[in-house]
């Protein structure tokens, strides 16, 4: 490292289409968020990695110390927890991809800062993986596969500053294309947090066990993705949402979120990511905050505040 301090930053993510189905090669629309996470690396004079993670309120929510000896990373205190074990796994995975990583017994003070509530599901893990991959000079998609797993759309969002389409290919790198998704009706789009964190790995497991996806469904959802990008009216966009919800409902054998929780809502509601938690996308002619407040939900973020600001493509 040529400078004393290095800071990496990665964008958070939201998957707007093809939840679950993205794993089977469906074309998905995803957006990087204005929220993200940084990783600051500073050399120290020991062979110890001192790690501190700060939340959006600038409060430490996790810290630990690790020793580096002959290139092996160990928990210094001997006390293990899930997060420390996961970090060791990430360190070890980077070393398998880049054997020169952490070989000089130089220590580091590492701090991470995220500017969103980590319960929101905006990519606490993916932003960390992308930042760590940048530090370790390894491919972030490969590092993800060796650690958390998943489709990798979240890594693509971490690396791009405008909306993307994402599509997996058998045995090849995913197809990631930047797209000009700038809805004329974006002032009528809102993201609502459901006050419950959803474990996406559990949702994916259920989806795979049901095994209801087929080529026709993949093509249909991919087509909805394309139509959403090009949609010019809120009414058309809402119809696409409703069709998409109906299809995924049959794939995961769950009722759509609007039918379960928001039957009387005057607009469309779409689950994002693993069904039943994290954020939903709501469309509304008027500010829907009072409605969702009445349901006990107090995190309602307008579309323009959530997405990463970018220069539209031409």
For residue range 111-137, list pLDDT tens digits in order: 999 999 998 999 999 999 999 999 999
Q: Whole-model pTM?
A: 0.93
pLDDT at 275: 78
Cβ atoms 249, 92 nearer than 8 A: no
pLDDT, one tens digit per residue, over 297-308 is 999 999 999 999
pLDDT at 273: 80
pLDDT at 201: 65
Tokens of 295: 């349901």
Q: Which residues in the chain come in under a pLDDT of 50?
A: 1-3, 314
pLDDT at 274: 78
Residues 304, 176, 184: CA angle, nearest 5 degrees: 30
pLDDT, one tens digit per residue, over 57-102 is 999 999 999 998 776 888 877 667 899 999 999 999 999 999 999 8
Selection from 228, 178, 183, 168 nearest residue 20 by Cα: 168
pLDDT at 1: 39
Q: What percent of the chain has pLDDT over 70?
A: 93
pLDDT at 74: 84
- Do 186-306 and 5-178 have the same topology in CATH? no
Residues 186-306: name the CATH superfamily: GHMP kinase, C-terminal domain (3.30.70.890)
Cβ contacts of residue 195 below 8 Å, gap of 6+?
Answer: 296, 297, 299
Q: For the chain, which residues make up each domain, given as ranges?
A: 5-178, 186-306
Torsion angle of the four alpha carbons 47, 49, 50, 56, in this order, in degrees rounded to the nearest 10 = 160
Yes or no: domain 5-178 corresponds to CATH 3.30.230.10: yes
């Amino acid at each position: 490292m040529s400078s004393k301090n290095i800071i990496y930053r990665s964008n958070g993510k939201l998957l707007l289409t093809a939840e679950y189905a993205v794993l089977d090669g469906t074309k998905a629309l995803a957006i990087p968020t204005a929220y993200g996470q940084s990783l600051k690396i500073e050399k120290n004079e020991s062979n110890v990695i001192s790690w501190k993670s700060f939340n959006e309120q600038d409060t430490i929510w996790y810290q630990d110390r690790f020793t580096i000896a002959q290139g092996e990373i160990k928990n210094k205190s001997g006390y293990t927890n899930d997060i420390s074990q996961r970090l060791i796994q990430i360190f070890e995975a980077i070393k398998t991809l880049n054997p020169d990583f952490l070989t000089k017994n130089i220590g580091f003070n590492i701090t991470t800062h995220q500017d969103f509530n980590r319960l929101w599901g905006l990519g606490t893990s993916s932003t960390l993986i992308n930042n760590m991959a940048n530090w370790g000079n390894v491919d972030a998609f490969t590092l993800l596969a060796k650690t958390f797993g998943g489709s990798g759309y979240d890594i693509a969002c971490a690396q791009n500053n405008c909306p993307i389409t994402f599509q997996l290919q058998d045995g090849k790198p995913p197809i990631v294309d930047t797209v000009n998704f700038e809805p004329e009706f974006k002032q009528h789009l809102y993201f609502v947090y459901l006050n419950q964190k959803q474990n996406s790995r559990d949702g994916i497991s259920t989806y795979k066990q049901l095994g209801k996806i087929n080529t026709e469904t993949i093509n249909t959802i991919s087509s909805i993705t394309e139509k959403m990008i090009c949609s010019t009216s809120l009414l058309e966009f809402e119809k696409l949402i409703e069709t998409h919800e109906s299809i995924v409902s049959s794939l995961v054998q769950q009722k759509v979120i609007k039918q379960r929780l928001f039957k009387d809502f005057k607009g469309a509601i779409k689950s994002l990511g693993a069904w039943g938690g994290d954020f939903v996308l709501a469309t509304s002619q008027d500010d829907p905050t009072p409605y969702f407040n009445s349901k006990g939900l107090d995190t309602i973020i307008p579309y323009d505040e959530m997405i990463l600001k970018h220069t539209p493509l031409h």
